[in-house]
Structure 1
Amino acid sequence: MTQQVQPVILVVDDDVSIQKLVRLQLKDEGFRAVTATTGEEAIERAFEVRPDLVILDIMLPDITGFEVLNRLRERGPIPAIMLTAKTRDSDKVRGLELGADDYLAKPFNPEELTARVRAVLRRARQQDGTSTDASVVVGDLAIDLVKRTVHRQGELIPLTRTEWGLLEVLVRNRGKVLMNPEILGKVWGPEYVNDLQYLRVWVSRLRRKLEPDRAGDSIIQTFPGMGYMFHDTATASAAAPDTATVTEDED
């Protein structure tokens, strides 16, 4: 009988009681948990154990969780959940913009945390899977759905797992307005269908990467109160109203 490999979760928190609670909960759910108390220790541990996901507190004794996440992202994509006592929207947005896949405020329900861990890992596995053969060229952008790459004038545009997941859903449904709950469900999972803040942050982030010098309408158009649509043409279709783009999706 083949033994199933346990996903490795790195838990970064300077509160030992939180570490213990999360470690025991993850162990009960079939995960292997390793811990770190400081940001520098977390970076070292991540290099040693190559975790499948990191649960990261913002307030650490040496450097912030934001800095840890940024440095981890420099080494490569790694799913991340921000676990913190901070509840301000600005902190949540900053964490998401740095590449965090989810955000959970303390105090938290341990079962909810493990549910979110499973959801993030599930999305990561789905995004690592093989896509059907397809490629799309939009203006100076070349999107390869097989190799999971985006190039602008031959130069690779690095995307996080979540950015790619969002782009892939939009591109595969290009020319069609996707409702907000549908996008959230496809990219983040059914438990996120009402979290419009996630969608706004990630659409804004994706637009900045795909169209850093955009002067006109975006290829990812906003339909207020409805959802988003990807245009597979270099300029926006006249069928979409000029009011499609809302300022809250922009910087």
Structure 2
Amino acid sequence: MTRVLVVEDDPQLVRALKINLQARRYEVQAAGTGAEALRLAAARKPDVIVLDLGLPDMDGVDVIKAVRGWSGVPILVLSARHTSEEKVRALDAGADDYVSKPFSMDELLARLRAATRRESAPVQADRVPVVTTEDFTVDLAAKKVRRGERTVRLTPTEWHLLELLVTHPGHLVSRRKLLLEVWGPTYSENTNYLRVYMAQLRRKLEPNPAQPRYLITEAGMGYRFEP
């Protein structure tokens, strides 16, 4: 049973989420503050976190940063903050997805399924286990990336996107394929997701993110990994 930690200080919304998630066989725990969320995340090891940014004791972005210090658990932000700056802040901190309030339960459930599917997707046996470039190394079996002696922390979404690209070296991977594989069919036209996450990957992996050497954009078509 998939364990979901709901971090939200609105009791009515927590109740609605619990009813809907438990009806679909999710195991749900709830936290009303950032401090309680961090305690439960460490103690109970949820499979996915649904997080409101407007918490009474701390900013939700700080919760994301704290969790990312030790865990790659998928984090789905649920917030009334609608500006692109707020979304980018949350994604840059390590969130995997962002759902704006008000939202439909069907949309939230679809994004939860996508997040847990990405996290549990197995590495194919016929893939090269380690991909090495001059600047970084991708260990597909261990799901780790290193730059020199330093481990690069990637969110589950960043990892899945990178994995798709490095397992097709030199080949164009279409925007549609990346969106379908990483986010699911509901988001096959949301190319802004790709732009945000490719920018994050380049900041973490490229020597010069403004002039990428490895993660190449094919304008209007998709992306290509050049080892």
**Same topology, TM > 0.5:** yes
1:24 to 19, 24, 28: 19
- Paired residue for 1:111? 106
Return the alpha-carbon distance in structure 1 between the equivalents of residues 54 and 30 of structure 2.
15
In the alignment, residue 87 of structure 1 is paired with which amino acid? H
RMSD (Å) for aligned C-alpha atoms: 1.7
Q: Residue 129 of structure 1: CA displacement?
A: 4.3
Equivalent pairs counted in the alignment come to 226
Query: Are the counterparts in 2 of residues 119 and 188 from structure 1 also a CA contact under 8 Å?
Result: yes
Residue deviations 1:107-160 (CA, integer Å, cap 9, x gap): 11122212211111111101x545534132222322222232222234332322
Instruction: State which structure, 1 or 2, has the greater radius of gyration over its C-alpha atoms.
Output: 1
Matches within 5 A, 1:46-125: 46-125=41-120
- Paired residue for 1:235? none
> Can you give the 5+ residue segments of structure 1 that lack an aligned partner in the other structure?
1-5, 233-251
1:11 to 6, 21, 39: 6
What SS class does the counterpart of residue 83 from structure 1 fall into?
Answer: strand
Q: Residue 215 of structure 1: CA displacement?
A: 7.5
Cα 1:113–1:211 change in 2 (3 A) is same
Return the alpha-carbon distance in structure 2 between the equivalents of residues 203 and 214 of structure 1.
10
> What TM-score, normalized to structure 1?
0.84
In the alignment, residue 150 of structure 1 is paired with which amino acid? V
Return the alpha-carbon distance in structure 1 between the equivalents of residues 53 and 2 of structure 2.
23
Identity of matched residues, % = 38
2:183 to 185, 188, 197: 188
Q: Residue 209 of structure 1: CA displacement?
A: 1.0
> What TM-score, normalized to structure 2?
0.92
Query: Are the counterparts in 2 of residues 132 and 145 from structure 1 also a CA contact under 8 Å?
Result: no
In the alignment, residue 132 of structure 1 is paired with which amino acid? D
Residue deviations 1:57-88 (CA, integer Å, cap 9, x gap): 01111101111111111121111110011111
Query: Are the counterparts in 1 of residues 123 and 140 from structure 2 also a CA contact under 8 Å?
Result: no
